[in-house]
Structure 1
Amino acid sequence: MVVLENDKLQVTIKLKGAELSSIKDKVSGKEYIWQGNPDVWGYHAPNLFPIVGGLKDNKITISGNDYNLSRHGFARTSMFRRIESTPNHAVFSLSYDDETLKIYPYKFEFEVAYSLSGNSLTILYKVINKDDKKIYFSVGAHPAFNIPLEESEVYEDYFIEFEKEETLVSSKLSTTGLFNGQYKEFGQNTILDLTADLFNEDALVFKNLNSRVVYLKNRKNTQSIKVDFNQFNELGIWAKPGAPFVCIEPWLGYADNELGQKDISEKPGIQTLDHGHVFESNYTISIEK
């Protein structure tokens, strides 16, 4: 475990997956991150690489060859190395090896950096192309926030507020986690109410938002969690039905549709990185009172 802290927050990160496992208010002791009950959902805030979402038959085609990749990729279950650390900043690294090359035939380094400042935590993703050719990848975040946060609240007190008015249309997923060509419409609004049955058909996936900032709020008090994802194109919102959390997930990339894809280079939402180049994208979680 690696701990970052200042006078406001204490943040804990695991070496496995370089996964954020706690954001705790140092005054109240309030925990904002889901604590990963394995009987419900065993993660806290997994980092998604080199794919986001599911693949048709858990396979991806790269340069004419098929490779087995499970949903959301292998980074979330891999052991990272801590390569930098200060009281309020830490960097973790995952490099290609013989095992990753068997399922993802690119030479890469994937870094996850955490920086704590005041009431805000910024998470930076860096992908370094160490291959002699272009590499293709997706990257995403999956933080789960505890709700309700107070004993006097219930799940239905909470809602997600978008920074801009949206015509909210979610691309629907099949039972195998692939897009099925159907959509769920929520109308024109800035508010998405959280209800017990909202995620009965899996995650909500928004591919065409105007907003790049959302707030997790409730109707009982003024505290909120702000997620700023200016450098990401898609947003997933998910919870296991009936569980006391909600995930707000900035993505660059997403699942296959039920027909699958021809090649990773043609996969919608995929990122391209030339030989010797570096990709960076970050998002920020802020605790607002």
Structure 2
Amino acid sequence: MKKHFIENDFLKITVKETGAELCSILNKENNKEYIWQANPEIWGSHAPNLFPVIGVLKEGKYHFETNEYEIPKHGFIRHNENIRLKERSENQLVFELLYSEETLKMYPFKFDFRIAFTLNKKSLEVNHHIINLDNKPIYFSLGGHPAFNIQLFENEKIEDYHIEFDQKMDLDTYVLNNDGLVSSNTKKVLKNESSIRLTKEIFNSDALIFKNIKSKVVDLVSEKNGKILSIEYRDFKNLGVWAKPGAPYVCVEPWLGISDIEGTDQNLKNKEGIIKLSAEKEFDANYTISIV
């Protein structure tokens, strides 16, 4: 499997060409690995890129104009072997996927998907750049799914970690039904608070899903060893937080879009959170991971 890396005095970043998936953030100062190493017995991914849908579609299908299409969960960027390294410099890797006959069968739009990983001291900026190559508007969602190691240090347990937002909030999570669709039911997570403690049971009902979240910066914090890293996601309206229950990682997922809601009419144009990009226009969305 082909991998590419960039490094500076502080960090070494590695990205798999397949899926343009970030698979390592190595802190050269303490030799700690911050990205989950995809143990297939628990969860076999590192940091999938989500496009042109997030989560699941109702019945795995959607409608556009008079036709019906199927797209797998989280879209077709993750695991995609047709993505190629487009540009490389000392501090940046840029990957690209152009539309093809294969993608047009699932997604009837001509597009150029690019994702850039830019290293600046102890921060990594992840930039999504979408170009509409079609003569009509295109409709899409996009997001990140990076998984960060917890229990980085000896004698730590999951309960020693929490995620800390940059402000106090009332925060409700939207509950998923048995098909992975977003229901109208919510559950209180924070009440004028700023931190969520991780536990072995916190994700027993799947991801925490926060729509239109006010906070745009969240820290991963160890009670014993302090702040580990920070994720800034000012270009993203929604946030998912997830892990396999009891696993030694946590995914912090900036999203533009969301899984289908229970009452969806399955029309792509009406999908909640969908982005409409006019012909020949371009779109950017960034998030940044900063290591302490």
Q: TM-score, length-normalised on structure 2?
A: 0.97
Question: 2:262 & 2:252 partners in 1: Cα distance?
Answer: 24
The question of whether the paired residues in 1 share the 8 Å contact of 2:219 and 2:227 is answered with no
Residue 277 of structure 1 aligns with which residue? 281
One-letter amino acid of the counterpart of residue 67, structure 1: Y
Q: What does the per-residue CA deviation read over 1:159-203, in whole Å, with 9 as the maximum and x for residues that have no partner? A: 011111110100011122111221110222101111110000000
The question of whether the paired residues in 1 share the 8 Å contact of 2:199 and 2:246 is answered with no
Identity rate of aligned residues, in percent? Answer: 47
Shift of 1:62: 1.0
Instruction: State how 1:34-113 maps to structure 2 within 5 Å.
Output: 34-79=36-81, 80-113=83-116
The question of whether the paired residues in 2 share the 8 Å contact of 1:56 and 1:259 is answered with no
Post-superposition, which runs of at least 4 consecutive aligned residues in structure 1 deviate over 3 A? none
RMSD (CA atoms): 0.9
SS in 2 for 1:34: coil
One-letter amino acid of the counterpart of residue 199, structure 2: T
Question: 2:149 & 2:162 partners in 1: Cα distance?
Answer: 13
One-letter amino acid of the counterpart of residue 12, structure 2: Q
Q: Does 1:123 align with 2:126?
A: yes
SS in 1 for 2:59: helix
Residue 150 of structure 2 aligns with which residue? 147
Residue 31 of structure 1 aligns with which residue? 33
Q: What does the per-residue CA deviation read over 1:200-235, in whole Å, with 9 as the maximum and x for residues that have no partner? A: 000000003110000010111223210000000000
Unaligned runs of at least 5 residues, structure 2: none
Question: 2:273 & 2:66 partners in 1: Cα distance?
Answer: 20
One-letter amino acid of the counterpart of residue 95, structure 1: L
The question of whether the paired residues in 2 share the 8 Å contact of 1:55 and 1:260 is answered with no
Residue 252 of structure 1 aligns with which residue? 256
Residue 214 of structure 1 aligns with which residue? 218
Residue from 252, 266, 272 that aligns with 2:270: 266
SS in 1 for 2:105: helix
Shift of 1:29: 1.2
Residue 197 of structure 2 aligns with which residue? 193
Question: 1:261 & 1:159 partners in 2: Cα distance?
Answer: 38
Q: TM-score, length-normalised on structure 1?
A: 0.98
The question of whether the paired residues in 1 share the 8 Å contact of 2:158 and 2:246 is answered with no
Shift of 1:260: 2.8
The question of whether the paired residues in 1 share the 8 Å contact of 2:218 and 2:230 is answered with yes
Instruction: State how 1:132-143 maps to structure 2 within 5 Å.
Output: 132-143=135-146
Instruction: State how 1:227-238 maps to structure 2 within 5 Å.
Output: 227-238=231-242
One-letter amino acid of the counterpart of residue 35, structure 1: Q
